[in-house]
Structures are given as C-alpha cells and as structure tokens.
Amino acid sequence: APPAQQAPLKLNFNAVAKSLDDVVTVPAGYTASVLYRLGDPIAAGVPAYANDGTDAPSTYDRRAGDHHDGMTFFGINASNKWDPAGASRGLLVMNHEAITPLFLHPAGQTVVGGVRTVADEVLREFYLHGVSVIEVNKVGNTWTYKQDSSFNRRVHTLTEMAFSGPAAKTDYLKTKYSTDGSKTRGTLNNCANGTTPWGTYLTCEENWAGYFRRIAANDNLKRSDKEKASFARYGVAGSDGLGRERWATVTPDTADNLYGRWNTEVIGATATDDFRNGHNTYGWVVEIDPFTPASTPKKRTALGRFGHEGACLGPVVVGKPLVWYMGDDSQNEYLYKFVSTKAWDAADIGGGIAAGDKYMNDGKLYVARFNADGTGNWLELKLGVNNITASYAGYAFADAADVVINARHAADAAGATKMDRPEWTAVNPKNGEVYLTLTNNGARTLKSTDAANPRYYNDPKGVAQAAQTGNPNGHIVRFADAGGDPAAVSFKWDVYLFGARSTASADVNLSNLAADNDFSSPDGMWFSHATAGLLWLQTDDGKYTDVTNCMMLAALPGKVGDGAARTITNVDGPTTATQATFVGKAPGTDGLRRFLVGPKDCEITGIAESGDGRALFVNIQHPGETTSAANITDPTKFGSHWPEGGTARPRSATVVITKNDGGLIGL
C-alpha cells in the first residue's frame, strides 16, 4: 500500500532549465542512469550491440526494440509472483513504438527502385517493434536489467496473438494466416500502455494503418462501399501506397507470407486466400501476461479499434465494474472508455489472460461528448443505439463486430466531440478524476473551436520554425465521472492546463506559464501511486524545439472546477468559442515545475516507478530522429549521439532516476 500522505504534497526540487544540449538533465540531488538501450541483449549468449548496423538480424528477437514508449513496473516477490509494493526487483514491461530506420542498418534502409531489397534489414525491423519484458534488479543503489532472466521476452510483429471479444472468429478477421479469424501475427506501433488489476500489461496499437500497402486505384474496384469507407476513415494506405517501411515490397514472399501480409489488396478468390482483412487485425488493445513468458497475447476487440494511444485503468473497487479510459490519437478524434460487465473480484489477482477473458470481453464501449456548459456525456457504441444502425448514412453497421472494428464510424454516428489529438489518460489516485492530454492540432480551425478545444492561434514561433496555427501547443482536459462512479454515463470537466511559450501573449499563454514550467505538446502523463497525487507530464513536441528539447514536468493538480471561467480571445481575431473553466497556474507556485529535459531530437514518453516510489523509470524515444539520410556516413552530422556520446549512433533508451539521498522522487 502507498504510504499515507498526511500533509499536502509539496514539490521539492529546483526546476531544470530549458535546454538544447544532447544530455538528460535532472535536478541537483538526482541521478539519471541509462538502463536499457536499443539493441541491448536480453538472453544469454547474445552479443553486445555493435550499434553500427552490423548486428545479426536473427538476434533481434532477443534484443531491446527501438522507440521505447509506454511502460509498467511489476514488482516481484521471492516466489516470483506479482507484488505491487516490490521495491528492488521487478519486471519492466515496455512498448517499442516504431523505428528510426536510418540508424539500424549499415547505411540506412536499402531501397532500390522504390522497393526493399534486403530481407535481413526488414527482419530487423519486424523484431524492433513491439514490447519488451525484462527483469530489473536494484543492487546497492544501482538498477540493472538481468540479461539471462527466464522472464525476459520480446513480443514483436511476428508473435502469434489470439482474438477475443465481439470481433473474434468473424469474417472481418479471416486471413490466409487464420482462416477462422481467431488469431493474427504481431503487434505494431505500440504507443502508450495500460494495466489490469490482476497483474497483466496492456499495449496499445496506435499508428498501425500506415504500415499497410494498399494501391487504392486497383483495390477500390474490388471493394464494397463499406470497405472503402472503412479504409478512408482509418487512413489505410500511405500516400505512395507502399506502406511506411515498404515491408510488402520484398520479393519473393516467404511461404508464410511475411511480406505479403502487409499488402491489403484483394488478390485471391476469398478472404482466406490473401490478407485483404489484414488491416482489421490491427488497431487493438493487446493483453500480455509478463509473468508467463510462454503465454499468447490476446487482442481485446471489445475495447474498439482505432489509433489506440493508451488504456488507463480507472479506480478499482471490489464489487464494482472495471473501467479503462482510451484516447484515439489523431487530429479531431475521440476519447473512449470501456466498462466491464463483470464486477471486480480480488480473487482474480494473478489470474493472467484468463482473468482478461472475464473482464475485457464483455462490457460497454463509450465515446465522450464534451458540452459547452462543463458537463459531458458518455455515448454508448452499440448496434441499434445512438444512430449506430444499418441506415446510418455514413456507414451501414451490420453487427456487433462491425461496430467495434469501425468504432470511429460509430463514434461519428453517436455525435462525439472531435478533440485536439487525444493522447494519454491518467487517473488521479486521490479522487478518481481523469486527465487527458490533447497534444496539439494543426487541423483545428477557428470555426471548429469548441469549449473543450478552444484554441486557434499563431504560435509566436522561434527563428527556425514557421508560424503554426490551430492549437500548436496543446492542452490538458480533466473530468470527473458523475457521482465518482466510473460506470456513470455523464461527467463534469474543465481545462486543467494550456501549453505555451512563457514569452507568448496572455491570450496564448493562458495558464500563465513561466520560464521554469513552460512547455508545448503534452503527451505522456501518469500519476505516481507511491506519492499519490503527484502528476508527471511528458512532451512530444516540434513547436517549441527551437528553444528546448522535450521534457518532463511534475505537477500537483487540484480538482475539476478549481479554475475560474474565462473567455479566450484567439489571436487571429475574436472567436465565438469560450471555454468552461480552466486553472491558470501562477508562476513560482508549487503547481507545475520542470523536472527533466531530454537529449536532442527526442521525445520523452513512458514512465513507471518501483513499488516504493524511489526509482522512476523514464523512456527517451528516438534521439536524433530527424537526421538526414544523406548524413549516415558523417557522424558529425547526426542529430544526437545520446546516450553513448562521441561519434556513436543515437539509441532510444530507458533511464532510471533516483534521488541521491534515497528519497521519494520529486518530493
């Protein structure tokens, strides 16, 4: 159990200054150590990572993936069981969202005539996406991962997965690989994460759509209007139709279609002859039992298919339903929640994937509507309600599987509120209130502003950047489900915080941010449990990066309704949009303070703590990612050399942060 907090929490560190240095900076009195980097070996006998593109592709299923992201620490006791209070030994489970291909091969990705010609390079990339499970231990004051732990595991794009819930074993999921629609291979673009009260990990498939090849001009001739509407709503097919990493272009294909499975075009006579439904097998929340390395991960279709950012578990109360809050991170997409039919029974702790079958296959999926008066409604996504019918003009829904697979269409039908890119959700353990980062939205127009997405303005811009309109710096909304009941169908909400440069005008810097806490593009967000009420905010920014690298801040937020109502005047002129309420943090207060700044060209994303809150694990994603492909032969032109320094290629990595006096982080 977390230590009881008697007095109000107070941040107790000196703010870290904004920085463009190629280092991780933490406050005086703290140490950040690199724990687990791209390519690090996680099995006995796998050599150390050379980091020059020469490591054997066949070893990558036993190496750390790339682009570390959402992450959970599961403490373990001496009997190798889950112990949430575990403070010196645990399983660190983390997502590897995507790759920076330039640094993975001898000279970047080999592409000849538009196609991938080196199958070994593609194999590396298959393995570098997905999830890591690693055992970590504290010896003295030093945390290390155990290279030969029997818990260590990589889940990647070749790992077999089962389907459960309304879409499992339906025609929509039938492929040549799984002719009854019961399974698929792999998980992809695993962004933020989630947990269950029985001790499993949830990984969430975000920008999966871009990996598929689909030449629409060919394929549209063979597709129904509904199928075309589904492709369009989910953005399947890149602009050149080849897919993000062009995996489908490798020839010849293998007998088990390792490359052809990324092509969604109709090729064979029936759906079990090809991968026309391959796109339907991605976009899900996936459950992994880290304590059972041989277990098969399960895609939970009851939680809907969209660009899943994360799945944050709501308050857990014996005898009450369980709830997960979920963002769909794309411009003008929605916030969702899933409420289980079954009430929580603590006897299911340790129940693994079978417990997931009990709580995550049957329940209600909702989408959020934010009203201008500070109230909101959860709209159920179910066939026959909220315009989700066969006669809905935007998409003729056929059955329950169709609704979860095309959840975005269902949410459109229900009339949900289009948000400024819903990223992470976080639940305040003190009061059950839920926070939602809205990272930015270049597609927000003056006309489309609303109370919950009220900004349209020009970012004052730095010298290196063009002006940005829409909502370039993002904001954070929070809400309280009615009566403190996570299963409630209404809520009240306000805006907690607006991102901005501290030098911006008062109409842009609405939260009165100062030099020690200004930020842009909030994304990762998580409440510490060991220090209940301490909120960590992480940024994934491209708008303020002329002044500072991405960062992490600590905050001590109050509650919904703390703010005073205020009308926003957007800088492009007066708008009809007014916001309900928001909290404007005064500079110099204890409410928000910068704790960490990352190396060049990175995103800070993913956070977890040891059971005692005295070690904080943070992921540094894609340092140096915008390095020009032409510069791969000239290390002096790499965008970053973190963490190795010198002339090394940059690597995504986990750092562990401890306080030098052994105390709680941030307090």
- Residues in contact with ligand FEO by the rule CB under 6 A: 97, 191, 206, 309, 329, 423, 523
> Is the CB of 191 or the CB of 664 nearer to Ca ion?
191
Q: Which does 603 bind (CB under 5 to 8 A by kind): Ca ion, ligand FEO, none?
A: Ca ion
Adjacent-strand bridge partners of 426: 435
Q: Whole-number minimum distance, CB 472 to ligand FEO, in Å? A: 16
Token pair for 659: 């306080």
> Is the CB of 445 or the CB of 626 nearer to Ca ion?
626
Cα–Cα distance between 363 and 321 in angstroms, integer? 9
Q: Whole-number minimum distance, CB 436 to ligand FEO, in Å? A: 12
Q: Whole-number minimum distance, CB 329 to ligand FEO, in Å? A: 3
Place of tokens 């890591």: 132
Question: Which phi and psi (to 5°) does residue 42 adopt?
Answer: -125, 25
Token pair for 171: 């025609």
The residue among 439, 172, 414 whose CA lies nearest residue 284 is 172
> Is the CB of 469 or the CB of 652 nearer to Ca ion?
652
Burial class of residue 83 (count of CB atoms within 10 Å of its CB; 0-12, 13-18, 19+): middle
> Is the CB of 61 or the CB of 603 nearer to Ca ion?
603
78, 162, 414, 646 from 367: Cα distances, Å: 42, 26, 8, 49
Cα–Cα distance between 528 and 290 in angstroms, integer? 21
Those residues with Cβ within 8 angstroms of residue 646's Cβ, 6 or more apart along the chain or in another chain: none
> Is the CB of 287 or the CB of 309 nearer to ligand FEO?
309
Question: Which phi and psi (to 5°) does residue 355 adopt?
Answer: -65, -35
> Is the CB of 97 or the CB of 402 nearer to ligand FEO?
97
Q: Whole-number minimum distance, CB 86 to ligand FEO, in Å? A: 28
- Sign of dihedral through CA atoms 30, 147, 103, 208? negative
Report the side by side order of strands in the sheet with 190-195. Answer: 183-185, 160-164, 298-300, 285-288, 201-205, 190-195
Q: Whole-number minimum distance, CB 407 to ligand FEO, in Å? A: 17
Distance of CA 167 to the CA centre of its chain: 23
Q: Which does 287 bind (CB under 5 to 8 A by kind): Ca ion, ligand FEO, none?
A: none
Q: Whole-number minimum distance, CB 421 to ligand FEO, in Å? A: 7
DSSP category for residue 102: G
3-state secondary structure of 497: strand
Q: Whole-number minimum distance, CB 550 to Ca ion, in Å? A: 9
3-state secondary structure of 541: coil
Quote the strand ranges of 389-512, DSSP E: 419-420, 422-427, 434-438, 475-481, 490-498
Cβ(280)–Cβ(173) under 8 Å? yes
Q: Which does 402 bind (CB under 5 to 8 A by kind): ligand FEO, Ca ion, none?
A: none
Q: Whole-number minimum distance, CB 437 to ligand FEO, in Å? A: 9
Q: Which does 206 bind (CB under 5 to 8 A by kind): ligand FEO, Ca ion, none?
A: ligand FEO
Which residues lie near Ca ion (CB under 5 A)? 191, 423, 523, 540, 603
> Is the CB of 134 or the CB of 191 nearer to ligand FEO?
191
Question: Which phi and psi (to 5°) does residue 220 adopt?
Answer: -60, -30
> Is the CB of 494 or the CB of 523 nearer to ligand FEO?
523
Q: Whole-number minimum distance, CB 98 to ligand FEO, in Å? A: 8
Q: Whole-number minimum distance, CB 157 to Ca ion, in Å? A: 18
By DSSP bridging, strand 298-300 and strand 160-164 are parallel
> Is the CB of 382 or the CB of 543 nearer to ligand FEO?
543
> Is the CB of 207 or the CB of 627 nearer to ligand FEO?
207
